Amino acid sequence: MASPLLSRWYLLLIALTLALALTPAGAQEPSSVHVLVEAAAELNRRVPPTLGGYRARLESEISIGNRRAEGMEMAVSLEQVASELTWDRTGAYAQRIIGYRTQALGANVATIGFFRSGWIIPSLYGNRLALLFGRDTTEAGRRRQQRQGRDPLYAVHPLATDRARYYTFSGGDTVQILRTATREVPIVRVTVALRPDVPAGSVVFVGDLDLDASRGALVRLRGSFAVVQTDPPMPGILRAARPEGIAYVEAVNAEIDGTFWLPAYQRFEVQATTAMIGESRAVLRIVTKVVDRTITTAPAGVTVGAADDTLSVRPFRLIVEAPDSLDAFRAWTGPLGALSTETRVEDFDDVAPDRRRPDGPPRATIETERFSDVARFNRIEGLFVGIGGVMRFRDAAPGVTLRAAGGYAMGEHTMRGRVVAERRRAALQWSLRLQRSLDLTNDFRNPFDSGTTLGAVFGRDPYDYVDRQTATVQWLRFLGERRGGQLRIETGVARDRAVTPSVDQGLFGDDFLPNRAATSGSYRRTMLTLDLRPDISLEYLRPGLGARLHYERGDGELTYQRAEVRLTARANPGPFIVASRLDVGMSSPDAPPQQFFELGQNQNLPGYGYKQFAGDQAAVWRSWLSYSLPVWRAPIYVSERLWFPPVAPALALGVQAGWTRASTATAAATVTQLGSEVTGDPRASASLTLRMFGGAVGVGVARPIGQAGKLRVVLEFGQRP
């Protein structure tokens, strides 16, 4: 698994510097849609006469994380920001940060230092849209910024007076009826596409506009922003290796006093990836809701309706209150993590650029599912290098995708790879998979742990392995309205082969441990897995409830049955963090060693030896309770663009308990073969730490519970009890 810190900086470097290049594609514009867009553009051109301006209190959540190829999302950094917004019809706009708190899993910076301006779009009126890190959106403002050496990022509004130079429009269907206190509002959706002759270098919007059909007001804007392609296309393999970032926005308005529409909810999201290092995506997400709002009169000296009554050149400002004011803020309306808990990367798939959409002409790419398909290092394979490709048939065969990846383990002198054919329709997916892999035998791993990619280079390889060849058919159903769960049934044939290390040690550290015992043999393999909210994890920051039920059996030379249950809960009420996870497992007493459960220092029982305990029955319980002290909660100013997260000291109590049992003499012999022992009574330990920097670092003491043991000093990183 890639480190959270690496994922975070990979995201920031891409998100702050890249925009996705688009190649324009034309479309016919129906006359009925033309009339509707003309009316909306005329209404959108000027601020309504009854709107002088407004003041609003905002609550935002800024999260940084990763979406894995399997569809699960993790958050490694969460920031909650309270701010006050002022805006008036002249275009004057300021956002003042008045409250701040954070949680993180590792070394971090406060992201507020990256914003030159506020991150909310204060109104959808006008000809241009100022985006994240932008300033003014008019042509005069752009020239002035260029003279000062700064070229702000802004996009041509799809309802701008010069929209015909950039966009075509289609659709026009009624998609919803909104009911306000005074009337019913029919919502018509218009799709915005690019003309074939858009000027190179233009920043444009592609997506959907939801319009009030009765009055023409813009109710919601949802889609992606991008820069039109300016450079000649790269050769295929270079284009595949190039990082790309897509900036999505969802801006939802609310009707005020039955006369005009102003922001109520906005979501800005950058998804960054590169096909050559995996199908996963790094994600920067900003979700903002308007807590309250006060309408204000027009500024002094402004004559409403006059020729000069229009949005003018004004710099957008982000102001951060003094540390003591940020420290004193307590008026949060929701717990940390609540705003982004129900958001998913897939929410924008229907307005994604062509190469990420499920429809369109067939598309072949050089692509892998994860970075470890391209390069990895472990004590069995040594250095592994590989490549992959994907063929998406799209409109030619809707939902059908072929994937292939393969490579060579240089230390082991072995080829490994897979070929996958899948067909997905709505919430159902069928797939056929032929694979030779180096599978992990570790137990009760967190949902995002697929093994270290390069950790063994530095002497860290806390896993054991088995070479496994499989040919399986899989049926998968996504569950829930937002597909936050999965039911998966898989059947096929498999063959396990014991392996031994081909590398003695990494560049640093001691010699590697020998690979633990495994039995070779062929078998029919059947699995059933039910995952409910797998993105809720004790080790990562999303709050909520998650569960997993897994059953597996083998029939043949290797015969066994194995079942696991996992329950996870995490909540952030006020200054508290409460998190807990319970894992229970059972296998056949005569199962092969690789199907037994092992616990130890790197396997959920810190303070004990590497896989010190094993058994055909096992359970692990881990809980964490943290209380944030009411001091030093303000981010630390270093420079205008660099802020460190607040010290934010917190007291944390962690408890871990594990138990294994060998239910028969045969099981006891397998435990001995693994080099382990059973726990007897449950083994438990507790720690009390002082956490800092959003919980990312902790120092304290720990000792065993219920048995003799010394008090020891512990230094912890991340929020894992």
Q: What does the pLDDT look like over 37-63, one tens digit per residue? A: 998 998 888 888 889 999 999 999 999
Residue 75 scores a pLDDT above 80: yes
Question: Nearest to residue 320, comparing CAs of 79, 692, 637, 644?
Answer: 637
- Integer Cα distance of 166 and 207 in angstroms: 13
19: pLDDT confidence band, cut at 50, 70 and 90? very low
130: pLDDT confidence band, cut at 50, 70 and 90? low
CB atoms within 10 A of CB 72: 21
247: pLDDT confidence band, cut at 50, 70 and 90? confident
Residue 698 scores a pLDDT above 70: yes
State whether residue 605 is helix, strand or coil: coil
What range defines the domain where residue 234 resides? Answer: 4-356
Counting residues of the chain whose pLDDT is more than 70, the rounded percentage is 88
243: pLDDT confidence band, cut at 50, 70 and 90? low
Q: Which residue has the tokens 């949005």?
A: 311
State whether residue 7 is helix, strand or coil: helix
Residue 378 domain flag:
no
Residue 518 scores a pLDDT above 70: yes
144: pLDDT confidence band, cut at 50, 70 and 90? very low
Of the two residues 375 and 214, the one the predictor is more confident about is: 375
Residue 63 domain flag:
yes
CB atoms within 10 A of CB 473: 12
28: pLDDT confidence band, cut at 50, 70 and 90? very low
Looking at residues 384-401, what average pLDDT do you find? 94
- Integer Cα distance of 371 and 387 in angstroms: 10
Q: Identify the H or E element spanning 253.
A: strand 244-256
Give the pairing type, strands 683-692 and 697-705.
antiparallel
Residue 312 domain flag:
yes
Beta-bridge partner residues of 287: 61, 267
What is the tens place of the pLDDT at every residue in 665-691?
A: 999 999 999 999 999 899 998 889 999
Q: Identify the H or E element spanning 555.
A: strand 544-556
Quick one: pLDDT at residue 694? 86
Residue 544 scores a pLDDT above 80: yes
Total length of the chain: 721
Quick one: pLDDT at residue 111? 87
- Integer Cα distance of 453 and 278 in angstroms: 12
Looking at residues 97-118, what average pLDDT do you find? 85
Query: Is there a contact between 721 and 621 (Cβ–Cβ < 8 Å)?
Result: no
How many folded domains does the chain comprise?
1
Residue 314 domain flag:
yes
CB atoms within 10 A of CB 665: 8
Quick one: pLDDT at residue 359? 84
What is the tens place of the pLDDT at every residue in 597-624?
A: 999 887 778 778 899 999 999 999 999 9
What is the tens place of the pLDDT at every residue in 355-371?
A: 778 888 999 988 888 88
Residue 648 domain flag:
no
Query: Is there a contact between 120 and 266 (Cβ–Cβ < 8 Å)?
Result: yes
Residue 156 domain flag:
yes
394: pLDDT confidence band, cut at 50, 70 and 90? very high
Amino acid found at 9: W
State whether residue 42 is helix, strand or coil: helix
Average per-residue pLDDT in the chain?
85
CB atoms within 10 A of CB 397: 12
What is the tens place of the pLDDT at every residue in 300-358?
A: 888 887 776 766 656 667 888 988 888 889 999 999 999 988 898 888 988 887 777 88
